[in-house]
Amino acid sequence: MTKALISVTGVDTTGIIAKVATKLSELNVNILDISQTILSGYFTMMMVVDIDGAKRDFAGINQELQPVGEELKMAIHMQRMDLFDAMHRI
């Protein structure tokens, strides 16, 4: 299983989770875990996803998420989970 970590941050608005999840579904990316919170009007979401069955490669998925972020006026970042894990072991 190839996992990635997706973070979504910005000013809270309606439909953030729905729009991001819809795009991931269209790309055949499976959401394994999700956590979100709103703090003083700012939305933060972290998602662990499985990209093995995705219709695009890592870079392609990340590229497809950027217009969603622009539409929502949110920052969306995607990292490879193995690199994320290695960074935090050091």
Query: Contact 12/38 with Cβ under 8 angstroms?
Result: yes
Helix (H, G, I), strand (E, B) or coil at 27: coil
Per-residue pLDDT of the chain (90 residues; tens, 9 = 90+): 899 999 999 999 999 999 999 999 999 999 999 999 999 989 999 999 999 999 899 999 999 999 999 999 999 999 998 876 777 666
Nearest to 65, CA basis, from 53, 52, 75, 51: 75
Q: 50-53 long-range contacts, Cβ below 8 Å, gap at least 24?
A: 50/1, 50/2, 50/3, 51/2, 51/3, 51/4, 52/1, 52/2, 53/28, 53/29
